[in-house]
């Protein structure tokens, strides 16, 4: 059976919401720099748009985390695959994530980053699937809450495919 992407959130709607999130973050952080730490790879497009919507000066960093899973579910086992190149001690840190699903990834990452004594530590996610939460995570900025559907595009993948779609799509069997 073939998998067909069906548009769920069109590009224009994503752009509007990301711009609003950038304005809200700019208001909340009058002083920079904000260290925007994006989780590879899924958050790279959201990061690019969000960073350009934030007026407060920011710095861009990447961190790699694998949840050991291929396909549509995380294995629940988390591993750091690429660490930060800089110290975040005493800095404002905003973790930028594509989607919070079980919460396992962010729960692990927040515990790790807290040990490094940032001045503040918050999360911005484009998508949130609250139905599937297994670990508690406190997310300060959410773009869209979505139902329990597997989505691709705008950075999100299914086995590394579909990341470059401008819309967010549901993958359905046809
Ligand atoms: P969590 O640890 O279960 O919260 O998983 C978060 C990670 O799983 C995200 O960063 C994504 O890489 C991946 N993920 C969860 N749901 C989806 C989805 O619907 N589409 C694509 N990737 C997803
Ligand atoms: Mg991810």
Is the Cβ atom of 78 under 6 angstroms away from ligand 1? no
- Binning pLDDT at 50, 70 and 90, where does residue 3 land? confident
Edge-first strand order for the sheet with 168-173 is 3-9, 168-173, 151-152
pLDDT, tens digit, 9 for 90 and up, residues 142-151: 999 999 999 9
> Residue 27: enclosing H or E segment and its boundaries?
helix 11-28
Q: Is there a domain that residue 79 lies in?
A: no
| pTM recorded for the entire structure | 0.95
Specify the 3-state DSSP secondary structure of 53.
helix
Q: Which CATH number fits the domain that encloses residue 113?
A: 3.40.50.2020
Q: Is there a domain that residue 107 lies in?
A: yes
Is the Cβ atom of 63 under 6 angstroms away from ligand 1? no
Which residue's alpha carbon is nearest to atom 12 within ligand 1? 42
CA distance 48 to 84: 18
Catalytic residue list contains 101: yes
For residue 43, the enclosing domain spans 3-66+87-173
């Amino acid at each position: 059976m073939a998998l067909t992407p069906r548009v769920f959130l069109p590009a224009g709607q994503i752009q509007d919401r990301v711009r609003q999130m950038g304005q809200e973050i700019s208001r909340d952080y009058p002083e920079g720099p904000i260290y925007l730490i994006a989780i590879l790879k899924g958050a790279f497009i959201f990061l690019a748009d969000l960073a350009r919507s934030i007026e407060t000066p920011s710095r861009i960093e990447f961190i790699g985390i694998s949840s050991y899973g291929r396909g549509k579910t995380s294995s629940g086992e988390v591993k750091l695959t690429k660490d930060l190149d800089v110290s975040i001690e005493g800095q404002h840190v905003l973790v930028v994530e594509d989607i919070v699903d079980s919460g396992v990834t962010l729960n692990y990452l927040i515990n790790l980053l807290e040990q490094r004594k940032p001045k503040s530590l918050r999360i911005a996610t484009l998508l949130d699937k609250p139905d599937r939460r297994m670990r508690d995570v406190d997310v300060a900025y959410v773009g869209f809450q979505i139902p329990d559907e597997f989505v691709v595009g705008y950075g999100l993948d299914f086995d590394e495919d579909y990341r470059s779609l401008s819309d967010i799509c549901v993958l359905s069997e046809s």
